[in-house]
Homo-oligomer: A and B are copies of this chain.
Amino acid sequence: MSSAQTTIDIATRGAGLYEFTEEARGFVRGSAVETGLLTLFVRHTSCSLLIQENADPDVRRDLDEFFRRLVPPSNDPSMRWMVHTTEGPDDMPAHVKAALTAVSLSIPVMDGRLALGVWQGIYLFEHRDAPHRREVVLHLGS
């Protein structure tokens, strides 16, 4: 088997979780690979990748809220120590949240399908408030 690669564009409309499980599944299906490894890589430093529960939307809401409370905007009184503030109060916290989560993830492909658990969905975790166009590279290898 040789490797296959593609890039997915995700348009975000503010902070939160954006699912792209179906796009990843479609890429694996189109490759006709039976046994392999799908690696996702996000080409940015203020958003990240997350595999989380795709059932109750409150889980995503609470995840997002936890990170907001752990890393408040840099104009919050508790964050006055932050130096990198010129790109907006949500920028430096976005870098921190990205550091606390994942820039790359790998999921085995078994019998032609992603080995995701029943409740696992794949998300882009946007940490900036303004809309952004985000690129995720998908690499399907052996």
Contacts and interface: CB of A to CB of B under 8 A. Distances in A.
Interface of A: 1-3, 5, 35-37, 39, 41, 43-45, 50-53, 56, 58-59, 61-63, 65-66, 69-71, 81-84, 92, 95-96, 98-108, 110, 115-117, 119-120, 135, 137, 139, 141-142
| Number of copies of this chain that the complex holds | 3
Nearest to A135: B117
A95 B3 CA distance: 32
Binding site secondary structure of chain A: mixed
A139 B95 contact: no
A76 B58 CA distance: 18
A6 B142 CA distance: 15
Contacts of A66: 71, 96
Interface centre among A52, A70, A81, A108 (most CB of B within 10 A): A108
A52 B46 CA distance: 9
Given A95-B52, A101-B99, A137-B108, A62 B41 contact: no
